[in-house]
Amino acid sequence: MKVAVPTWNGRVSPVFDTAGRLLLIEYNNKEETGRSDAVLDASTWQALAGQVSHLGVDVLLCGAISRPLAALLAEFGVSVVPFVNGSVDEVISAWRENRLSESHFVMPGCRGR
């Protein structure tokens, strides 16, 4: 399984649509097996969704995301977990421990995910 998190200054990027970098984390039976970075350089929603799909992403943990882009990613088989806030390492740990619903991981104003 491959999990992706758009990053900005060590935190989850606030808006996925305009993110420039993606941290990719690979798991095998819930054990992390590797990390890598990817530069996002697509200029359209379709190209961005295609780029994420081409990277083999299964789950995208992100901040705000436009509905059309989220729908495109779903068409490519990417499960999107939107409106996530916090430092990258804390968010990844919370995702693995099923704690992303805790209030400090939810973007302000997005309680209803």
Q: Which amino acid is at 75?
A: E
pLDDT at 109: 66
How far, in Å, CA of 42 to CA of 71, rounded?
17
Strand, helix or coil at 99? coil
pLDDT above 70: percentage of residues in the chain: 96
At 15-36, the pLDDT tens digits run 999 999 999 999 998 789 999 9
pLDDT at 110: 63
The predicted model gives 36-61 an average pLDDT of 96
Q: Are 65 and 74 in contact (CB under 8 A)?
A: no
SS3 of the chain: helix, strand, coil, percent, to 5 = 30, 35, 35
At 79-101, the pLDDT tens digits run 999 999 999 999 999 999 999 98
Q: What is the mean pLDDT of the chain?
A: 93
Q: Which amino acid is at 39?
A: V
How far, in Å, CA of 7 to CA of 77, rounded?
21
How far, in Å, CA of 49 to CA of 29, rounded?
26
At 3-16, the pLDDT tens digits run 999 999 999 999 99
Residue 111 has pLDDT above 70, yes or no: no
